[in-house]
Amino acid sequence: MDHDRALFGRRDVLRASFAATLAGMTAGASRARGAEPRSAADGLIVRNRRPLDLETPVTELGSWLTPNDRFFVRSHFGPPAVGLAPWEVSFAGLLDHDRTFSLNDLHAHEVVTVPAVLQCAGNGRGFFRPTIPGVGWERGAVGHAEWSGVRLADLLKKLGVRAGAAHVHLLGADGPPSPRTPAWFRSIPLERALAPSTILATRMNGVPLPLLHGGPVRLIVPGWTGNHWVKWLRHVTVARDEAQGFYMQTGYRIPKLPVPPGAAVKPSDLVPVTTMNVKSLITTPAAGTRLARGEHEVRGIAWTGDGHVTRVEFSTDRDPAWKPAQFLDEARPGSWRRWRATWSAADRAPHTLRVRATDSNGESQPETTPWNRSGYLWNGIDAVTCEVV
């Protein structure tokens, strides 16, 4: 009994110090923005405590940039110990020269700033029916930030990419909790690695990249889902083939063609999840808001993976004809565009507001996204129900 209590006591101490460490780790960025440091969650939706998975409430996604301390967090094993030794990123494989870069070495290259949407491939998983195991994200495993750092292409070109190279393997410092758990080992095709928007980011929204978001260095791959944006980047290896292992060969794959829920799909009929699909969200009014009759402004965001959003349309259950919304931001690949529409609420009743976006490839949002085993790439039309009183 006493023994148990002693053990529990110890565990609470550990938990408390873990929370304190997290608070401390995010404090730097928050203070720089003049805000109170956040506790581990602080009003974000906690989807998982360990590792910490936090979702942003959709009503907070209406700004051009998502503040760092309101940005969703996803990691498979949690942040590694950082700061015990100077950070280094090693480059090896099919290169003329191997090389290890310190942060200062990285910053000796041209630093660029790229606004880009980061979205988890599983954002919206909670909307699939039948339900799917995994983190039950709804709307907010997405955010938009300004990322600064150096182009991966500049580093690779400097080191000389050898003939036959086709993929770039990426490994972070967050080791799996047990040797039986596969490591978070990923790769991107060389072509994508050489794209000018693919960068090793060391800053997020003007401050050093917070630890929870992969500080001191992470990869950003605008247009592609979050699983490519490797955090705590340590090792870059240029290779002939894709990375092996669970997170490349089994995870993050979807059927080439839609299949009925639960259907077994041959591995050869699966393709990797890469480019985000077109999507929009209503950020205001919030679901369940009570409003007076009359004109109201509806606002939200829209983005896509390839190209840019060309059209956002708004409708309601009372007035189902789609009407164009107005954009507040220019079209910019990789970024989101805020939009607004006017809604005239005539009668006292619940009203359902709907939004759908179309992109420069002519892709538009479906009513619901075809079911896939892991619940990736949900982009069904967003709907919010409000009460007119």
Ligand X SMILES: Nc1nc2c(c(=O)[nH]1)N[C@H]1C(S)=C(S)[C@@H](COP(=O)(O)O)O[C@H]1N2
Stretch that binds ligand X, among 15-23, 124-132, 229-237, 253-261 (CB under 6 A): 229-237
Q: Segment 105-124, which members bind ligand X (CB under 6 A)?
A: 118, 120
Which does residue 29 bind out of Mo ion, ligand X, none, counting CB within 5 to 8 angstroms by kind? none
Contact 169, 92 (CB under 8 A): no
Looking at residues 138 to 177 of the shown chain, list those that interact with ligand X (rule: CB under 6 A).
Answer: 172, 174
Binding residue count for Mo ion, defined by CB under 5 A: 4
201 binds, among ligand X, Mo ion, none (CB under 5 to 8 A by kind): none
Residue 247 CA neighbour count, 13 Å, CB half: 19
**Binds ligand X by CB under 6 A, chosen from 47, 70, 76, 169:** 76
Cβ closest to Mo ion, residue 280 vs residue 374: 374
With respect to ligand X, which residue has the nearer C-beta, 83 or 294? 83
Sole window of 7-15, 30-38, 74-82, 377-385 interacting with Mo ion (rule: CB under 5 A)? 74-82
Residues near 1 by beta carbon (within 8 Å), at least 6 away in sequence: none
375 forms part of the interface with Mo ion (CB under 5 A): no
* CA–CA separation, 185 and 183 (whole Å): 5
Name every residue whose Cβ is closer than 8 Å to that of residue 338 and which is 6 or more positions away in sequence.
62, 63, 64, 299, 300, 301, 327, 328, 329
CB-wise, 120 or 377, nearer to ligand X?
A: 120
Interface with ligand X includes 137 (CB under 6 A)?
Answer: no
Question: Percent helix, strand and coil across the chain, each rounded to 5?
Answer: 20, 35, 50
Contacting Mo ion (CB under 5 A), which of 67, 143, 214, 226? 226
Kindly give, in sequence order, each residue whose CB lies less than 8 Å from that of residue 295, ignoring residues fewer than 6 positions away: 342, 343, 344, 345
Q: Per rule CB under 6 A, is residue 338 in the interface with ligand X? A: no
Tell me: does residue 120 bind Mo ion (CB under 5 A).
Answer: yes
Residue 377 interacts with Mo ion (CB under 5 A): yes or no = no
**Is 69 one of the binding residues for ligand X (CB under 6 A)?**
no
- CB of 350 within 8 A of CB of 387? yes
**Can residue 253 be called a binding residue for ligand X (CB under 6 A)?**
no
Residue whose CB is less far from Mo ion, 276 or 312 = 276
Residue nearest to Mo ion (CB): 120
To the nearest 10°, the Cα dihedral for 191, 197, 199, 205? -160
DSSP letters for 16-80? HHHHHHHHHHHHHHHHHTTSPPP-SSTTSEEEETTTTEEE--GGG--SSS--GGGS-B--SS-PP
Minimum Å gap between C-beta 154 and ligand X is 22
Q: Considering only CA atoms, which of 231, 200, 236 is closest in space to residue 215?
A: 231
What CA–CA distance (Å, rounded) separates 71 from 30? 12
DSSP 8-class letter at 95: B
Radius of gyration of the chain (CA): 22
Of the residues 87, 184, 339, 378, which one makes contact with ligand X according to CB under 6 A: 184
Q: Shortest Cβ distance from residue 208 to ligand X (Å)?
A: 14
Out of 144, 231, 311, 356, the residue judged to bind ligand X by CB under 6 A:
231
Site for ligand X contains 66 (CB under 6 A): no
> Could you tell me how far CA 92 lies from the centroid of its own chain?
27
| Binding residues for ligand X (CB under 6 A) | 71-76, 118, 120, 172, 174, 184, 213-214, 226-227, 229-232
| Binding residues for Mo ion (CB under 5 A) | 74, 120, 226-227
